[in-house]
Structure 1
Amino acid sequence: MKTDDYRVVFLKLEQLYEPKRKNEDSVFLIMDGSAYYDVEVEEDDWIRICVERGDLIVIPRGRNHRFTLTPKVSAFWLFYSTASPRTFINQCLL
């Protein structure tokens, strides 16, 4: 895998509360602590997912989503555009 195939960005999670819609899949790995990830499944119909240390969540492109913080959390955020998140994860595990 070439480094040009993906971009890796560290984020302050306070900036993620406002709903966002991305043109690529969003992949989050929770490094420490916990948070709630809100995902809009239909217009004005949201589900809340509790994520904790070690959890990986993939949000498909075009889906509104946001984080709700707990007191301590860190996240690793990947945008991956040349292969599916599953392909990326499998390559990382090899």
Structure 2
Amino acid sequence: MVSAWYMDDSDEDQRLDHHKNPPQPVDMKDVVNLTGVLHWKLNIDTYEGDGMLDKIKKDRGYNYEDVIEISPEKLPNYEEKLKIFFSEHLHTDEEIRFVVAGSGFFDVRDAKNDSWIRIKVEAGDLLILPAGIYHRFTLDSSNYIKAKRFFVGEPVWTPYNRPADEMPARLEYLASVQSN
């Protein structure tokens, strides 16, 4: 089951859990309300035939997909790429990831108080980050994740590092979460 919590401010290894003391868990319903992030839990053993992933892709217009494997052995320039993924940024399109193996963390900003919420993802978790949300990604201590990435049309990989507060995608995002 996906879990989320407010993060501490420690500079320790980014791959650690970074719970506050005492821990401050966040229910995924609250994550949706605070950030607009969407989540589905798919059965990793049956998703290829049960139609749930196909329905999500059809409903959201995803017509392109690929697979990324992140580990020291699988990703060229691993350490450099992990630093890039962990830099706070936004995209002008949704970021969609379906974890098929391994685990990691997506950190998203609570738009109301600008605090980090850490979302742990594992095999079967499908996460959609809205366009314009400040976020970052890192592996956990297992140092491995394999995920399907989905796009509407051709993939756009451009990250816009913070600050990008005047970008239309950011302004639209803030308007959408503030109306919740």
Normalized against structure 2, the TM-score is what?
A: 0.38
1:24-59, Cα deviation, whole Å (9 max, x unpaired): 111110111110110112264110001001100000
Mark the structure with the bigger radius of gyration. Answer: 2
Structure 1: state its 5+ residue gaps: 82-94
Distance 2:101 2:69 in 1: 13
2:38 aligns with none
Q: How does 1:54-93 map to 2 (within 5 A)?
A: 54-70=124-140, 71-80=143-152
Distance 1:19 1:11 in 2: 20
- 1:24 aligned to which of 83, 93, 96: 93
**Could you say which structure has the greater relative contact order, defined with CA pairs below 8 angstroms and 6 or more residues apart?**
1
Post-superposition offset of 1:17 = 1.4
Distance 1:32 1:56 in 2: 12
Post-superposition offset of 1:61 = 0.6
Q: How does 1:41-60 map to 2 (within 5 A)?
A: 41-42=110-111, 44-60=114-130
Distance 2:91 2:117 in 1: 18
Normalized against structure 1, the TM-score is what?
A: 0.67
Count residues in correspondence: 78
| 2:65 equivalent to 1:8 | yes
Mean Cα displacement is larger for which, 56-65 or 19-28? 19-28
Given that 1:26 and 1:80 are in contact with CA atoms closer than 8 Å, whether structure 2 keeps it comes out as no
Q: Which amino acid aligns with 2:136?
A: R
Q: Give the helix-richer structure, 1 or 2.
A: 2
1:91 aligns with none
